[in-house]
Amino acid sequence: MYKTSIEQIARTVAAAIFLVSIVPNPAAYGLSGSKSKSAADTPQTSLEQVLDLNKQLIASENAKDFDTVKAMVWESPSALFVAKTATAAEGNWAGFWGHDVVVQHLHDVIYGGPFHIDPDYTKAKVVLLNAGVAETYVPVHITVGYGGQQPVPKPFLILIDWVKTPAGWKMASDIAIPVPPPPAR
């Protein structure tokens, strides 16, 4: 069963990366495809902005500042949150699609019992996939009581895709990948 869940997550991650990689013209999807050369639009500035937003998102989730969390989610039917379901009957782990569904599931996870994310920003990475799409990678430990989980810190890798909209960078996908325990020796 564990292997099946990991395989489902791997397929979902691959699909999300594929979808992001095929966006040929970000402006056609309401994303900023501007090629401005101002200091505010340099790749390095964008990377710093996206990492700062990633930090703000996690801090807001930890503070249960849900209005800020909600405002950071991309207003699109393509927004994606991959996470644990409330029950095993729902698939145990699944992709939740669309702004309203993502926001509701984030709310349920954050308020569904103990919740805290402890990020390791010393290992964080940010890459620009194009001028309007960036991805953050952050190893974390998540303590969560949602869906009957034991609220003890567990290791995850969080991959978040961000899209640049007229309103700024927004979280397009949030994929939490559970890190399996090391193999027994």
Domain range list for the chain: 2-23+43-157+166-178
- Residue 33's SS3 state is coil
Higher local confidence (pLDDT), 38 or 62: 62
Most confident of the ranges 22-26, 29-33, 128-132, 137-141 = 137-141
Cα 131 from Cα 164, distance rounded (Å): 8
Q: Residue 55: CB partners within 8 Å, gap ≥ 6?
A: 119, 121
CA distances from 19 to 13, 24, 81 (A): 10, 10, 14
Would you give the end-to-end CA distance of the chain in angstroms? 22
pTM metric for this prediction: 0.76
- Residue 98's SS3 state is coil
Residue 32 has pLDDT above 60, yes or no: no
Residue 81 token pair: 């949150």
Count Cα neighbours of 157 within 13 Å in the Cβ-side half-sphere.
14
Residue 74: other Cβ atoms inside 10 A: 23
Cα 162 from Cα 170, distance rounded (Å): 5
Average pLDDT value over all residues in the chain: 81
- CA 68-98-28 angle, 5° bins: 95
For the chain, percent of residues with pLDDT exceeding 90: 54
What values do phi and psi take at 180, rounded to 5?
Answer: -70, 155
| Architecture of the domain made up of 2-23+43-157+166-178 | Roll (3.10)
Look up residue 67 and give its amino acid.
Answer: D
Which of 29-33, 54-58, 80-84, 144-148 comes out lowest in average pLDDT?
Answer: 29-33
- How much is the pLDDT for 90? 77
Q: Residue 18: CB partners within 8 Å, gap ≥ 6?
A: none
Cα 152 from Cα 115, distance rounded (Å): 10
Chain mean position to CA 33 = 22
Once rounded to an integer, what is the mean pLDDT over residues 28-38? 39
Higher local confidence (pLDDT), 86 or 135: 135
Q: Considering just the CA atoms, what is the radius of gyration of the chain in Å?
A: 16
Banded model confidence at residue 20, pLDDT cuts 50, 70, 90: very low
